[in-house]
Amino acid sequence: METFQTIKIHDDTYIINDEQLCSVYVIVGTKKTLIIDSGMKNSSSLIEKIREISNNELILVLTHAHFDHIGHIDEFDNFYMAKDELLYLSDKNFDVSKCIFFDQQYIFDLGNKKILAKVFKGHTHGSTILFDKENHYAFTGDQFGSGCGVWMQTNEATSLKEYLNSIESFLSFCQNDFANITWNLWGGHYGQEKTSRLNRYNPLNMKMVENMAVLCKKILNNELQLIGCNAKKYNNEDSLYASYDSAEIIIRKSIIDGGNNHENI
């Protein structure tokens, strides 16, 4: 069985999905090719799969450093990541020796187009969203989930209030800095839009992000009931689930209260 599945979403843009629905995005420029995330570690070569698409010089950038996005970083000579990501990284096996850090934003020049990487804290402190203005694509990693909710119960998550501020900053940035563009959002796990609790098909889009902001406000104002769920626990706290319209979230109490105990760091 094929480990990777390649899906063409534009003339110059591809998704490489693994069996766990961990998504790698490939944007082919005239001079360089940008790789967004490297998926879950497995025995197959990611670069060999990428070389079926492009022979350009490769640039790898991480939306964040959770294990299911860094599985094949060893195949690359170096990679880019927001420096704030390292501060709260609980994965002790993460190899930083080849990492090129950037601050709040960075522009990748592919020859015929430029891709903007910009940090929006939330799912992790260094969560990065990449913008392809030409194609109206925003690659959001796990910042808003991929159609079945965002994980905000992890060790690396910010407080819920900070996440809400980040969502509002993202929406403002899209509306003010890129007026008249309708953005298509591509999450870190293409295919999870079919695994939502709410609908058989719950696609990631700007409306979902707007709903996520409302959901966060309702949780902070104690206007929604939080339901216990069996998602992975962190810091020995129960994982809690809530939803509003198309938005879903997994969270724990200390994240709502504004603190976070990084016991594994």
**pLDDT for residue 17 is more than 50:** yes
Q: What is the pLDDT of residue 259?
A: 60
pLDDT-based confidence at 263, cuts 50/70/90?
Answer: very low
- pTM, full prediction: 0.95
Q: Angle at CA 237, nearest 5°, toward 229 and 256?
A: 85
Residue 33: exposure state from Cβ atoms within 10 A (0-12, 13-18, ≥19) = buried
Q: Is 246 exposed, middle or buried (0-12, 13-18, 19+ CB in 10 A)?
A: buried
Phi, psi of 193 (to 5 degrees): -65, -15
Long-range contacts at 199-205 (CB < 8 A, ≥ 24 apart): 199/246, 201/147, 202/147, 202/148, 202/246, 203/147, 204/140, 204/144, 204/145, 204/146, 204/147
What's the confidence (pLDDT) of residue 179? 74
Q: What is the 3-state secondary structure (H, E, C) of 156-167?
A: CCCCHHHHHHHH
Confidence class for position 265, pLDDT limits 50, 70, 90 = very low
Count of positions (residues) in the chain: 265
pLDDT per residue over 18-72, tens digit each? 999 999 999 999 999 999 999 999 999 999 999 999 999 999 999 999 999 999 9
Query: Both tokens of residue 220?
Result: 């902070």
Dump pLDDT digits (tens) for 99-131: 999 999 999 999 999 999 999 999 999 999 999
